[in-house]
Amino acid sequence: MLMLKWLPMWLVDKVLLILAWMILGNMEKFGLKRPSRGPLELKNNLGKPPVLDIIGALERIRSRDIQVVPGIKRFSKGSVELVNGEKLEIDSVILATGYCSNVPYWLQRKMIFFSKNDFPKALFANSWKRKAGLFAVGFTKKGLSGASADAMKISQDIGKL
């Protein structure tokens, strides 16, 4: 990024956050909370840039076709209890866990799904396949196009349930 030649990263992050707010608006009203760190700091520390699908997912969130909810306290058959005490009847859950997923640490049957390095056991061509009702997207190392292809396969599979 050209600005980094003349400005410190923290300042460029502030500029990027202001631009994102001007373009996208306040996304917290839809349940999307911004990370405390800026996009360049996240990329610098985690090795990956934050990504927001403004064409697909964001429009579905704005139209309320996709509902973003607070943290999950517990799952039950056909329902979920949120940390705020609310209970929702559900047929599917999408955990948008980001780059540092903690799912392997709380999933009770993790050995069915995750390998020792906390990645899904079924990698690459079949990484999206359901195992014990769980799917994984984004582990093919094929970027957004790979994640998009996985998401399409998953949505078709969920539609058959």
In tens, the pLDDT along 133-150 reads: 677 777 666 777 777 787
pTM of the model: 0.56
Pick from 90, 97, 84, 50: nearest CA to 67: 90
User: What average pLDDT does range 103-122 have in this prediction?
Assistant: 68
20 to each of 16, 17, 34, 56, how far by Cα in Å?
6, 5, 11, 17
> Which of the given ranges, 40-49, 58-67, 81-90, has the highest pLDDT on average?
81-90
From first CA to last CA, the distance across the chain in angstroms is: 45
